[in-house]
Structure 1
C-alpha cells in the first residue's frame, strides 16, 4: 500500500507521515524504497523538509520544488542502474556524480542534485528505513570559471534596446531586476505598500533566507514605479483589466510565477532582437554597475541582499581585473 499523493497545504501533507506510528512509518518507507516508488519517496522527502529541515515549514517553495525534481531524477537513475536504495554500494553515490558530470551538467548543478539525493536519505533515516548515508563523503569538483564569466550581465546597450520595446508593465519589472537588483521571486512578491516612490525605497519583506531589507530605487526606477502605480494600482484606469488573477489583493504583479514573468519578458527581448538569458543577468548588471561606481563589496552586498560579502566578492571579483585597464594603459 502506498501513500496517496496529497494536494493540500504543505503542513497537512507532512502530517500524513508524521501521524503514522513509527513501525508503520518505517514499513511504508522501506516498501517505497524497495519498489523505488517515486511518488511516495518524494512525499516522504517533502514531509522531512517540512518538519526536520533547518527552515521547516518556512522552507522556500523554490527549494521544495528543486529538491522534488532532484529526488525524482536520482530515483530514475537508481531504477536504470538497479541500485539498492536501502543498502547502497559504497561507490554508488560517486558513480551518480560522475554520470551527472558526464551528461554535461555543471558542478553547481550537480551540487544541487546531490543535495536533493542526500535529503532523500536523511528522510529515509528519519523514517527508520536505513542507516545509509552514501552522499556524506562525495566530492564534487569545483568549476574554476567564475559565475560572471559563465553567465555575464546584460550590457547597457542590450537593456536600452529592450526598454525601447517595453510597455510600462515590462519596463517596471526590468528596472526592478536591473536597477534594484531584486531576485525575480522578490519582485513578484511585492505589494503596493512595499513601494515608496517619494523616498525612493522598496521594502523587500521576504528575500532569500526570509531576510527583509530596504532597497534604494534609481531615479529612473522611481519614475517607472510612479507611472506603473498611476496606471495599475487600485483606482487607476487599467486596474480593473489588470487585476491580479488568482492572487490576493494588493500584489503589484498579476502573475505569481516565474514562468509567466519569463513569458512576458521574453516577448519584449525578442522584439528588441536581444537574446533573453534569464533574470539573473539583469541582477548581475545591477551588481557590476554599482560595484564599478562605489568600489565597495559591502554596500553592493547589502543592495543585492547577499548574506555574506564573500558571495559578492566571488561573484564580481572579475571586475577588479577590468578596473586595471586604465591603470595599465601606459605601461
Structure 2
C-alpha cells in the first residue's frame, strides 16, 4: 500500500508537467533552465522518468532519489561555473567530469552523476526546450580495480561476532543478506508467505528490475526462520519503527533501509566490528558459495544478477591458489 500511494503521488506530480500543452511545457522548461530553478528542473526530470523512462512509473524510488541528487549536484556546478543549460559549451560536460575526478570522486561515482545530468538533458529535450546533448560523447575513465577488491565481503569471524551480540531481528536480517544473498530492499519487502523454511526456499517478489526468483535457504537460515516465525508470526500488532508502520504480513518491523541500517550499525558497534553497509553481506554469500560450487552462473542466479560479469567483478572471488588441487599430478 505504501508503494502504491507513492506511485500515485509521483504520477500526480508528473502530470503537472506532462499534462501541459506543448507550447506551455516548452515555455516552462526554458524558464526553469534559464533561471537554473533547481526544484523546477528536478520536477521536470522526475516527470520525464515517470512518462518516458525505461521503467516509467515503476522506476524504483532509489533510482529516482539518486537521479534527484545527481541533478541537484550538476545544477550546483552549472551555477558556480556559469554554464548555459540550454546552450552548453563543447567542453562544459568534460569540465564537469574533470571537476568531480579532481575532487576525489571515483569513476563509478562520476558515472552515476553523469547519468543523472544526462537524464536532465533528456527531460529538457522531451519538453522541447533544447536540442543539446552535451554528455553524448563524454569520456569517463574506467576503474580497473574490481569492486570486490575495493569493497570486500565481511569475514566469517566478523559475522560470527555480530551474531553473538545481535537481537533476533538483526540476526535474521544478517542471515538473509549473508546466506540468501538478498538485497536490503528485497529482505525488507518479504512477507510471511515468501518464507518456506520446510522446503528451504525464499520467494523474492521484488527483485531488481522487478524480477522474481526463488532463493535456497542455508540450514542456518531455515533454522533462524523457524525461530523468527515462532516469535513474530502474523496475528500480533503492526510493526513500527517510530516513524512509519509496516503491515502485519511484512516480516520485518523496519519500514526503511535507513532504519535497518541504524539497528545493524548498533549491533556491529557492540561487537567491535565496523559496519560497511549491507552489500558486504551479499559479497560474503557470493564468495563463500563460489568457493563451494566453482560456478559463477549458479552464484549469479543466487544473488539475482542478470549478468555473471556483475558477479565476477563485484561479488565473488576464488582464492588465488584455487587450482592447485586440480593441478596435482600434471
Q: TM-score, normalised by structure 2?
A: 0.93
Q: Which residue of 2 aligns with 1:104?
A: 104
For 2:251, the equivalent position in structure 1 comes to 252
1:77 alignment partner in structure 2 = 77
Q: Distance in 2 between matches of 1:163 and 1:72?
A: 40
- Mapped partners of 2:328, 2:167: distance in 1: 42
**CA deviation after TM superposition for structure 1 residue 324, in Å:** 4.1
Answering whether residue 212 of structure 2 is matched by residue 204 of structure 1, we say no
Alignment of 1:4-19 (within 5 A): 9-19=9-19
The answer to whether the aligner puts 1:240 opposite 2:237 as a matched pair is: yes
Displacement after TM superposition at 1:188 (Å): 0.7
Q: Is the 8 A contact 2:239 2:248 kept in 1?
A: no
Which residue does the alignment assign to 2:122? Answer: 122
Shift of 1:179: 0.2
Give the match for residue 156 of structure 1: 156
Tell me, in whole angstroms, the C-alpha distance in 2 between the residues paired with 1:69 and 1:321: 39
Give the 3-state SS of the residue equivalent to 1:202 in structure 2.
strand
Aligned partner of residue 306 in structure 2, secondary structure = coil
Please say if residues 154 and 284 of structure 2, whose CA atoms lie closer than 8 Å, have aligned partners that are also in contact: yes
Query: What are the equivalent positions in structure 2 for 1:127-206 lying under 5 Å apart?
Result: 127-206=127-206
- Residue pair 1:232, 1:242 contacting (<8 A) in 2 also: no
Counterpart-to-counterpart distance in 2, 1:197 and 1:251: 16
Give distance in 2, aligned partners of 1:318 and 1:87. 47
Cα displacement (A) at 1:312: 1.5
> Structure 2 vs 1, CA of residues 140 and 205 (structure 1 numbering), >3 Å: closer, same or farther?
same
Pairwise CA distance, 1:256: 2.3
2:322 corresponds to: 323
Relative distance call for 1:207 and 1:173 in structure 2 (3 A) is same
Q: Distance in 2 between matches of 1:250 and 1:122?
A: 40
Aligned to 2:3: none
The CA deviation string for residues 34-71 of structure 1, in whole angstroms up to 9 with x for no partner, is 00000000000000000001110111111000000000
* Contact in 1 for aligned 2:170/2:264 (Cα 8 Å): yes
- The whole-number CA distance in structure 1 between the counterparts of 2:321 and 2:160 is 22
Q: Secondary structure at the match of 1:9?
A: helix
**Any stretches of 5+ residues in structure 1 without a counterpart?**
1-5
Q: Given the superposition, is the C-alpha separation of residues 15 and 87 from structure 1 closer, same or farther in structure 2, using an over 3 Å criterion?
A: same
Structure-1 residue corresponding to 2:90? 90
Contact 2:283–2:316 at 8 Å: present in 1 too?
no
Residue in structure 2 matched with residue 267 of structure 1 by the alignment: 266
Instruction: Determine if contact 1:38/1:72 at 8 Å carries over to the other structure.
Output: yes
User: CA 1:35 to 1:233, structure 2 compared with 1: closer, same or farther past 3 Å?
Assistant: same
Alpha carbons 1:181, 1:287 under 8 Å: kept: yes
Distance 2:278 2:147 in 1: 14
Q: Distance in 2 between matches of 1:118 and 1:186?
A: 28
Does structure 1 conserve the Cα–Cα contact (< 8 Å) formed by 2:151 and 2:280?
A: yes
Aligned position for 1:3: none
- 1:328 CA displacement: 8.5
Q: Secondary structure at the match of 1:198?
A: coil
TM-score norm. by structure 1 comes to 0.93
- After superposition, the Cα gap between the structure-2 partners of 1:68 and 1:99, relative to the gap in structure 1 and judged at 3 Å, is same
Q: Distance in 2 between matches of 1:130 and 1:40?
A: 16
Contact in 1 for aligned 2:238/2:246 (Cα 8 Å): no
Cα distance, 1:240 vs structure 2: 3.0
1:296 is matched with which residue? 295
Tell me by how many angstroms 1:315 deviates: 2.5
Structure 2, unaligned stretches of length 5 or more?
1-5
- Distance of 1:277 and 1:255 partners within structure 2: 19
